[in-house]
Structure 1
Amino acid sequence: MSGSQDEIPPPPPPPSSSQTPTQQTPHTVSTIKLPILKKGEYDIWAMKMEHYLAHTDYPIWEVIQNGNGPVSITTDTQGQIKVLPPRTAEEILARERERKARTTLLMALPEDHLAKFHKMTDAKEMWDAIKSRFGGNDESKKMQKYILKQQFEGFSVSNSEGPS
């Protein structure tokens, strides 16, 4: 053997008494990249987002799918609607999840579309608006295919552009 024991790396030091085993393990969720919506790829993006959110923070996905429950509101003396601050730990958690869900969806949108969605206060409403804006329905998809077919049929290559 040509190598000596000096070439073998030493074993890692034992954990200190102040660390628990869970603190030593890196959090692998941070290595997953947030899917960004691209034009014409809504269906793939929606599947990726569902899996991403279900894996990283399932309660956030539930907020997007099911809504977050009612928010306490009141009307002030001028007739303005005011959202009441959360009073219970459950209400605080629900607001936090809603905020996280909205932020995650906004981060997954192209920058040129942020203004259209950032004023929405409900993540479920935002998800539905993204779907209607980028996903389209079957009728609009049929129309898009028809238009593309018409454009293709109208396309021709002149002799000067084609192979000689």
Structure 2
Amino acid sequence: MRIEQYIQMIDYALWEVIENGATLPKTQVVESVTTVMPVTFAEDKAQRKLEVKARSTLMMGIPSEHQLKFNSIKYAKLLLEAVEKRFGGNATTKKTLKIS
């Protein structure tokens, strides 16, 4: 919960990327061959930059001894889900969540 509030305070657009996920790269299929289209639009570049920033911000919040376990996760949304699963909170936090 603290990391969620921290990221929302820093940059709410980051939190939206984490919560909703980044837009996937565009692909084109020509004669049954799929190719990934390069990022060319300013909006796509901004979205990718936010995704990298969001993932980096989440990684900074993970204790050093656990960073290697989470380093292979590419997307901020999946990283947050893995962190929440691993560090689900203490008994008091879980009890509060059940009551709400």
Report the TM-score range of the alignment, normalised by the length of the smaller protein.
0.7 to 0.9
Percentage identity across paired residues of the two chains: 40
Structure 1 residue aligned with 2:7: 53
Structure 2 residue aligned with 1:18: none
- Structure 1 runs (4+) greater than 6 angstroms displaced: none
> Which structure exhibits the higher relative contact order, with contacts defined as CA atoms closer than 8 Å and separated by 6 or more residues?
2
Higher strand share: 2
SS in 2 for 1:119: coil
Specify every segment of 5 or more residues in structure 2 that has no aligned partner in the other structure, as ranges. 95-100
User: What count of residue pairs does the alignment treat as equivalent?
Assistant: 88
Change (3 A) 1:120 1:135: same
Structure 2 residue aligned with 1:120: 73
1:40-119, aligned counterparts within 5 Å?
A: 47-73=1-27, 84-119=37-72
- Following superposition, the deviation at residue 70 of structure 1 comes to 1.9
Q: Which deviations, in whole Å up to 9, do the C-alpha atoms of 1:10-33 show, x marking residues without a partner?
A: xxxxxxxxxxxxxxxxxxxxxxxx
Q: For the residues of structure 1 that align with 2:27 and 2:51, how far apart are their CA atoms?
A: 16
Please report the RMSD computed on the Cα atoms of aligned residues, expressed in angstroms.
Answer: 2.6
Higher-Rg member (1/2): 1
Q: Which amino acid aligns with 2:52?
A: R
Higher helix share: 2
